[in-house]
Amino acid sequence: MMEILLYDEIVQGTAAALIDELKTADDVTIRINSSGGDVFEALAVYNYLAGKKVEVVIDGICASAATIVAMAGARIIMHPSALMMIHSPQVMLFDRYDAKDLETLKTTLDKVVASIVAIYQKRVPGYEMPDKEQWLSAAEAKDLGFVDEVIQTSPQMQMILTGGKVKKFAAQVTNKIDKTILDNINSGAGKVQGAIHIKDKNQKVQMLADFLRRNYNVR
């Protein structure tokens, strides 16, 4: 069995690189610690893996487009301290657009949403894309049906990961990140960089993971 690490952002070229590694493998284990990225690259990986026997192990963050890759697993295993995050696909605009352009963009995004939801529904019948980010602990992901097994952990760690505390952690770190971004914008020199990072969900997710590890010893 071949083991592949998806431990980075999914960017243009990710699908080609992974597929090149997997050409000679029939049985594959994919370990995920990724904040997501390019949805079309993720869809390409998912569709390629459909013809193989795949086991997925979620080691840390499995967010955004990375959840699409995860759904390729015939069996999905998640560490108890890992997190899953699902949200509707997004686009960042830097040009001028009229109403028809925006309507076309909305139509395209709706089609992307339908494509992703169809993948999720293979595991969770009736699932609909959430209106806002949906943060799931390993236990919650298993209860919904996204995960087959949660690796056993100590009772103490289980207490940390239940009772909605993960979502409170996410809110805390998001507020801290937003404050840092505003500080960067107000500093003048960081104005452009800060403005870009306001929309950088991947950075927020990674900082969330760092926050959990640093403050709550979640590994």
Residue listed under structure tokens 């870009």: 196
**Highest mean pLDDT: which range of 41-50, 161-170, 193-202:** 41-50
Range from 22-36, 125-139, 165-179, 189-203 carrying the lowest mean pLDDT: 189-203
186 — phi, psi (to 5°)?
Answer: -70, -15
Pick the more confident residue, 179 or 63: 63
- According to DSSP, residue 154 is labeled -
Burial class (CB in 10 A: 0-12, 13-18, 19+), 86: buried
134 token code pair = 């949906």
Give the pLDDT score at 105: 87
Mention every residue, 6+ apart, whose C-beta is less than 8 A from residue 218. 81, 157, 160, 161, 212
Q: What is the pLDDT of residues 100-157, one digit of tens each?
A: 888 988 899 999 999 999 999 999 999 999 989 999 999 999 999 999 999 975 555 5
Which residue ranges form the domains of the chain, and what is each CATH number? 2-154 (3.90.226.10)
For residue 61, pLDDT over 80 is answered with yes
pLDDT for 56 equals: 97
Say how far apart CA 36 and CA 202 lie, in whole Å. 7
- Give residue 85's pLDDT: 96
Cβ-based neighbours of 50, under 8 Å, separated by 6 or more: 72
Question: In the prediction, which pLDDT does 134 show?
Answer: 95
Question: How would residue 170 be classed by pLDDT, with cut points 50, 70 and 90?
Answer: low
Report the chain's mean pLDDT, rounded to a whole number: 81
Question: Among residues 5, 70, 75, 10, which one has the least CA distance to residue 36?
Answer: 10
Cα torsion 109, 113, 116, 80 to 10°: value is: 110
Number of residues assigned to the chain: 219
pLDDT confidence band for 181 (50 / 70 / 90): very low
CA distance between the termini of the chain = 26
